Structure 1
């Protein structure tokens, strides 16, 4: 079938499934061509119901009848369809449609997505894993396991994200203090230094190490931590500041040599434009569905390449295997690929999402199926319905006096 053939969107649906206990949102774009459809990731796990509503009640009726070939035109129209824009709910809804349209385009071309993006720049995708635990013994055991599996890049943490890294020193709270994940920034900073010192002492200097602050420090404390971890030669220090504190990154760049990564909370181009143009960061770490999908990610990656900034797309457990595969197609094709975060797939996820990327000896590999290549088994997905009770506690961080900390 020629590229000019009129194939249009017939219906847009959203599914929620939780094969690993985390709500994942998948969008299906059905077309006027029998048996031609595409899948995309729209996972905003903390507001999955809002995303489903945005997809089915708003985008579906607005975009039925649009030509599936015109991905850019559809993306621009979706962005303006609610007048107000660039929030995570609409961006994720758009991402589901956008990725599904790229999936369809690959199927029509009978090519994997990376071929449509210019072909391969590399044969395998270097990935990193998370070594977590409540004690050094647990973290060390986790690192040993990943090294035995062939991973060479590992992010190291103890305890709560941005918390006290396994340190059992109690937090003294005021009377009638509300519930929350309490932590002391200064205690956290000291414990990070202790953690990294243990990592280097036991595993040496060949291991590439990352650490994620999760935006839980003030700018002055973020600068102090960056200076304190310099001797450990991190691959990068991640998200040391909030999205609205980007202008402070210039001070970290001026006063430390630590490679800086940021971006998992970004939803708007203005959050990354200045920091990339000024080369205040080394890695851009956006979550593809939170910025609207593959189409804006291509623009962002090429923009970053002009300023020697590499990609390190966000790859947590609340990213569907379809979303992970979409990111990896970009990883294969982009000249400025840096590293890919990878949280692994459970057997249940592999059941629901046939064709998941495979990881061997620290590298991820995609299949060469047309489109994104990771499918969605709608029948299997029904075995793992959405969960209504999720653990929100880590999102409610508080300083010792009870002040909420906003990532």
Structure 2
């Protein structure tokens, strides 16, 4: 064991600069620190407790360099494996240890992962609007800012609240679904209206912006397999970059039916947590992009396993990067994006400016690409004084009901 590499302290840090984040900070005996993102949107305190009460005691005194062994300890040693709480906790530890290792090596993390495979990481931005004209304005704002790929979401006529539609149509997206309060907000849903509207939305954007701009869309698990197959087929003339989360993730075999009926590329996985969750989807080539996040799949170690497995079948990465991923999680994703060969695209939803007061990040955006920077480690520091100004506030993701009151996938 290298002198001073034993873990001295493990801190669980909770702050709420515009939204709730849980951050893990690990410090070695010689004072080197590492950060990990432990945020699980709408269930943040469950991971905080898991880390503080069950994981931290196991780490004190262990060697921070033994990343793989620690990962296996936390995964196999718990007996109760997988699941979002467990894998988010493991992810936080894993990224913090990689941060420490890269700092000790004096190089950015991507160098320890094999070095850069590209000059930058292509990202997509989020455009939305209360109507199609407002959506066009939002797309125009993002392309003017340099984005080269755009996710499009718009309000569906006849549905009061629609997933992914920002409060504003231009400028920085203000869409944050987790509402502050003691209870979840309920919204209505009508899949038939949605299925009629989305092809119209794509046709409108294509007419305004042409055929070259990559367009993405998120179905957010709201379709049955045959509905997803129909939408994928209806969208083929507009050549989407991908259709994301078209059906609920639990039923992986549903994608067989969707694949039979459409050539629209499919992206799945932001609610999945291990390589086992992706096994059928990747082996049978039922998806084109893995939509998992570093923060929810066991960290750099866990997500790299998924990406390496996906590479065997021509499936590419498309990491989750909405605002429920803190700058720590985003930075970790960018280092992995830069290193792997089968990179596809990275989601980039810009945080509220308050977030930058707590998390100081080295990654930069230019011309539609992000780069993690060349600071040793992952390139993110945590400001305790700033974080103290933003106390945790209960927040829950919405729930959706059909017109007749039946609970539906949100």
TM-score (norm 1): 0.92
Identify unmatched segments of 5+ residues in structure 2. Answer: 162-183
Give the CA deviation at 1:179. 7.6
Change (3 A) 1:302 1:402: same
- Residue equivalent to 1:174: none
Q: Secondary structure at the match of 1:370?
A: coil
Q: Secondary structure at the match of 1:44?
A: coil
Give the CA deviation at 1:355. 2.3
Give the CA deviation at 1:137. 2.0
390, 395, 403: which is aligned to 1:400? 403
Indicate conservation of the 8 Å contact 2:275/2:305, yes or no. no
Q: Is 1:151–2:141 an aligned residue pair?
A: no
2, 19, 24: which is aligned to 1:22? 19
335, 338, 342: which is aligned to 1:336? 342
Residues 120-269 of structure 1: pairs in structure 2 closer than 5 A: 120-159=116-155, 165=156, 167-168=157-158, 180-269=186-275
Identify unmatched segments of 5+ residues in structure 1. Answer: 160-164, 172-177
Q: Secondary structure at the match of 1:79?
A: helix
Give the CA deviation at 1:252. 1.9
- Residue equivalent to 2:175: none
Aligned length, in residue pairs: 388
Q: Aligned equivalents of 2:129 and 2:392: distance in 1?
A: 27
Indicate conservation of the 8 Å contact 2:267/2:290, yes or no. yes
- Residue equivalent to 2:169: none
Which range moved further: 339-348 or 179-188?
Answer: 179-188
- Residue equivalent to 2:28: 31
Q: Aligned equivalents of 2:356 and 2:117: distance in 1?
A: 27
Deviations 1:356-403 (A, max 9, x none): 421111111222111101111111111222122x3532xx11122211
Deviations 1:110-150 (A, max 9, x none): 01000000000111111001101221122111101011111
Determine which structure has the larger strand proportion and give its number.
2
Q: Secondary structure at the match of 2:382?
A: coil
Q: Aligned equivalents of 1:136 and 1:331: distance in 2?
A: 33
Deviations 1:139-176 (A, max 9, x none): 111101011111110000013xxxxx3x13689xxxxx
Give the CA deviation at 1:322. 0.7
Instruction: Report the aligned-residue RMSD.
Output: 1.7
Which range moved further: 42-51 or 353-362?
Answer: 353-362
Change (3 A) 1:46 1:81: farther
Q: Is 1:13–2:3 an aligned residue pair?
A: no
Deviations 1:295-328 (A, max 9, x none): 1111111111111100000001111001000000
Q: Aligned equivalents of 2:186 and 2:57: distance in 1?
A: 41
TM-score (norm 2): 0.91
Indicate conservation of the 8 Å contact 2:293/2:303, yes or no. no
Q: Aligned equivalents of 2:249 and 2:305: distance in 1?
A: 20
Indicate conservation of the 8 Å contact 2:189/2:401, yes or no. yes
Q: Aligned equivalents of 1:271 and 1:51: distance in 2?
A: 20
Give the CA deviation at 1:6. 5.7
Q: Aligned equivalents of 1:88 and 1:364: distance in 2?
A: 27
Q: Is 1:298–2:294 an aligned residue pair?
A: no
Indicate conservation of the 8 Å contact 1:321/1:356, yes or no. no
Q: Aligned equivalents of 2:11 and 2:160: distance in 1?
A: 48
Indicate conservation of the 8 Å contact 2:33/2:100, yes or no. yes
Q: Secondary structure at the match of 1:100?
A: helix
